[in-house]
A and B are shown apart, each in its own frame.
Chain A
């Protein structure tokens, strides 16, 4: 009976997977129709309808995902093959979706956060002219993201990958009237294109080696890759991931991406899209497990990104910029987890980070919404009394980010730090200790910068002049914030380690996806407890330092121009300037050279012109034959037939 029932669920699940992708797509299409429709509805009625449609679509996607997740057991894999998408003799790609433990937990997390943010947006974007357009893009994004997560092969995943990229671009440049926003969008898409080259290169090498894009075939035929080739493929995909997940050296687009509406930053540039790179690497876990060299590169890049982004975040004054650098830093942690081979912890941190960072962005958005779009934390302060709910939500998610127990960030970050410390490295014996130390310093910086931000926003005296226009938060905004705040508190409990009496549920749950990777066990539970205590202390000391610095002596800290090293941090290590001066200059020099030395005009231009001229002459010449006279037409017809016959007679 039980077996029968599960088969029944299995069948239902298999036919419903596609609707996770389709529901938001249909929502986007309906809203597009609404956008272009010219009927008697007023603008505000249209807005209401479009918001309901978009939220329903996201909600449906979540319900289906939840259903799948609920029926997910250790060895279950739901597969839905819709059709053969490309079919030629050498090249066969199925449009198939695949739900295993990894993608089920990812999709349920993503659709849930997306649903919350859809609801939040309907309040945040109220009175915006592009309201309907906004929801079209948001739904389209969710659809692409679902495709990215659920696809059963790399090529289909690439479509989702590009889809989220284009939606990210559209939403960064959402307020296109300001050239700055458009440039930010362009920067994002340009840097992502650089990453796409890596992804495509990886695709090509994988296909030419195993003649398939399917993840299953990839696992089965992993021995076909020689070690060198494997490292190359791994680094190609990592190259793609550095752009999407904002890692050194391609992270520079993410801070600028904050030009988009704040809920977009929460959904796309914190919780979901930017984690796609991490997801890709975790999906290909076996390829990374087999290449310690590539893993080393990833771990080192990850920890460096985490560290550098955290240092920059400590001196920024723009609320969203701080959160952006914080996101880069946290993504670095996830990459570190992937690099040391602790894939489950990477996903664990991805999910808990998604909750608390989305929550932080939404609270920041609420503050901006209430303060006439003010983003500079120097012009805030003392808002605790004015916005108690927002302050509470901010505090909960902030503590989660700071990694303070028992908030979610503590468990997930600690899982990564423990993973980095305990997994021995076959190439560089001292690397685990170094990674752990860097990670710990970053944790300290994280606690510091988020405490600084919360203190400057909510404690002390109000330093701005926008407060007299405030109004209350609508429920559509406050409810999602509270839900996500609860999530930031409790989501971490799914991974309480065994060392302190937990069940480490997520590790067990994901194990079926990582079945090829030998289970890593240690019997150093005491050491793990000690390290957890150290993390707690480090986090607490970061908070205390911020307290001393900004509550005790606030004035001088805010008004002084940063000097020395702080100035370097304030300018984000001059990385943007460096890119501009090197790559930007080189490119424009080459482009200038090409146009100045006449390669374009004299050689290419003439070539193109002459080809066009040739065909134009040919076509003009032919026009003379088309005389309009029936006798000529008849003549050519007979001539044609006659020539054919003569040719035949001559041949035989």
Chain B
């Protein structure tokens, strides 16, 4: 008998998506219809979150243990679904100023991408993992190219497709070597077999290909080259989605493959060093390249490369402390980054510009958004007392405690350097003046979302105990 319980959240999303397609066909095109469909998608995701929250304590498996709902999956799903929720919110705003005739399908594709990302977090088997990843990625290609009359969007979609297809092929190639060495696609069994398997060059080749393929998804240098171009060209809600939901899914996949399947002493020795190099490269390249950027989305793209570099530190130390730091930082990053993008969407859709210079004098036009940007930027830069500081403190602490002193120091130095470009935005919004002082309008729900993101970013800096409790339980169930 096939059990579906571990698939319920994705099932709800799928039903919502199909419902939206149907409703879109039945009703005539009007403003009411669009806002109705918006709310259908919104409540679908909310319902899915509710299922994850209330049902997530039960460890369940579906489809012959291809999918499993363990605490890690629940944690990942919550991050992904919350960021999908915020992405939908941005979409409503984005389509007010950027009209296209196919708004309903956009919602549907976001939901499909979320199904992929969500299923990825519970994938216990590499074929399932790959299929889920492709569901996410192929939806992302469409989303990036969605504004078809916009050359930038088209370019972004095309580049993403070409490079993404290549990296997927590399990933699959890597998986095939691992399968060849272990004759299983189950992640747990793969670990058992690799324990006894002698180390050979083909396994290592497989590992390197898997790293290359997955690093592309979370944009670790040097596999990050697509990031700035795609982030800049894609519609802003999609950029936000790629920078959080898509990355969170990628990180969970990393955790499943490296901390479970490939977690044997001999192999850890290999990939630990590789990840250290990748983390260092990402931190250096991401932070340095963000400095001269004029476009805020491009800047955020490089910032996200650097952030991925910080987060991967938690993986490479391969212990409970590191995983705790990683999950904590992912959670913090979700709210700070999504909050920043929400603010950017609200502002840029009204000033019709994505140039950092045009954010000047924002304090006069919207004090709330200026304050929000200040908090999110300081948190991303890791300035106390915001949550980003606590997160980085855990990450660098984990690195230093496990013999990666150089990496911890590098992270700290480049966090200081990152202040330069994060504060550029703050300087423009809060210090500089502009002749324009038309107020920026902001809806109640956007305001609520911004304030929630701000509160989480502030409160987690002081009082992280409940979240740490959840994370400790997650990590405890996962690593001994």
Min Cβ gap A81→B in Å is 11
Q: Interface residues of B, CB < 8 Å — how many? A: 36
Chosen A-B contacts, 6 in total, with CB atoms closer than 8 Å, are A616-B291, A623-B289, A633-B159, A637-B216, A640-B212, A640-B222
A568 contacts partner chain B, Cβ-Cβ < 8 Å: no
| Distance A652 CA – B204 CA, assembled complex (angstroms) | 11
B367 touching A633, Cβ below 8 Å: no
Partner of B289 from the list A95, A622, A633, A652 (CB cut-off 8 Å) is A622
Known: A619-B288, A636-B222. A36 touches B367 (CB 8 A): yes
Q: Mark B240-276, 1 if CB is under 8 A from A, else 0.
A: 0000000000000000000000000000001000100
Q: Are A630 and B216 in contact (CB under 8 A)?
A: no
B288 touches A618 (CB 8 A): yes
A626 interface neighbour in B201, B225, B462, Cβ under 8 Å: B225
List B residues at the A interface (Cβ < 8 Å). 159, 162-163, 166-167, 170, 199, 201, 204-205, 208-209, 211-212, 216, 222-223, 225-226, 228-229, 270, 274, 277, 285, 288-289, 291-292, 367-368, 397, 417, 462-463, 465
Q: Closest CB of chain B to A172's CB: distance in Å?
A: 25
Chain B residues with CB under 8 Å of A83's CB are: 463, 465
Q: Are B463 and A633 in contact (CB under 8 A)?
A: no
Query: Which of A85, A615, A620, A645 is in CB contact (< 8 Å) with B208?
Result: A645
Contact partner, A644, options B162, B170, B208, B229, Cβ 8 Å = B208
User: For A620, what are the chain B residues with a Cβ–Cβ distance below 8 Å?
Assistant: 292
Q: Is the CB of A630 within 8 A of B208?
A: no
Contact between A648 and B204 (Cβ–Cβ < 8 Å)?
yes
Question: Contact between B465 and A641 (Cβ–Cβ < 8 Å)?
Answer: no
Residues of B within 8 A of A564 (CB): none
Among B163, B212, B228, B417, chain A packs the most CB atoms within 10 A around the CB of B212
Q: Which residues of A contact B205 (CB under 8 A)?
A: 645
**Least Cβ distance of B208 to chain A in Å?**
5
- In the A-B complex, list the 7 residue pairs whose CB atoms are closest, starting with the nearest: A633-B225, A640-B222, A619-B288, A83-B465, A641-B212, A619-B291, A636-B222
Q: Which of A630, A632, A640, A652 contacts B162 (CB 8 A)?
A: A630
Q: Which of B167, B201, B226, B285 contacts A649 (CB 8 A)?
A: B201
Who on chain B is nearest to A628 by CB? B229
Q: Which residue of A lies closest to B220 (CB)?
A: A640
Find A636's partner among B167, B225, B274, B397 (CB 8 Å cutoff): B225
- Hey, which chain B residues are within 8 Å of A619, CB to CB? 288-289, 291-292
Which A residues are in CB contact (< 8 Å) with B212?
637, 640-641
Query: A640 vs B228: C-alpha distance in the bound complex, in angstroms?
Result: 18
Question: Which of A616, A619, A644 has most B Cβ within 10 Å?
Answer: A644
CB distance from B120 to the nearest CB of A (A): 22
Q: Is the CB of A623 within 8 A of B292?
A: yes
Whole-angstrom distance from the CB of B178 to the nearest CB of chain A?
Answer: 15
Cβ of A84 < 8 Å from any Cβ of B? yes
Given the contacts A633-B226, A636-B222, A640-B212, A645 and B170 also touching, CB distance less than 8 Å: no
> Bound complex: CA of A649 vs CA of B270, how far in Å?
11
B166 A637 Cβ-Cβ under 8 A: yes
A634 at the interface (CB under 8 A from B): yes
Q: Chain A's nearest CB lies how many Å from the CB of B156?
A: 11
A95, chain B: closest CB distance, angstroms: 8
Q: Is A639 an interface residue (CB 8 A)?
A: yes
**Docked-complex contact B209 and A641, CB < 8 angstroms:** yes
Q: Given that A641-B208, A644-B274, A648-B270 are contacting pairs, would A630 and B289 also be in contact in the complex, using a CB cutoff of 8 Å? A: no
Q: Which residues of the other chain, B, contact A618 by a CB distance below 8 angstroms?
A: 288
Given that A633-B225, A640-B222 are contacting pairs, would A85 and B291 also be in contact in the complex, using a CB cutoff of 8 Å?
no
A626-B228 in contact (CB<8A): yes
Partner pick for A615 among B277, B397, B417, B463, CB 8 A cutoff: B417
Chain B neighbourhood of A632, CB < 8 A: 225
Please name the residue on chain B nearest to A648 by beta carbon.
B204
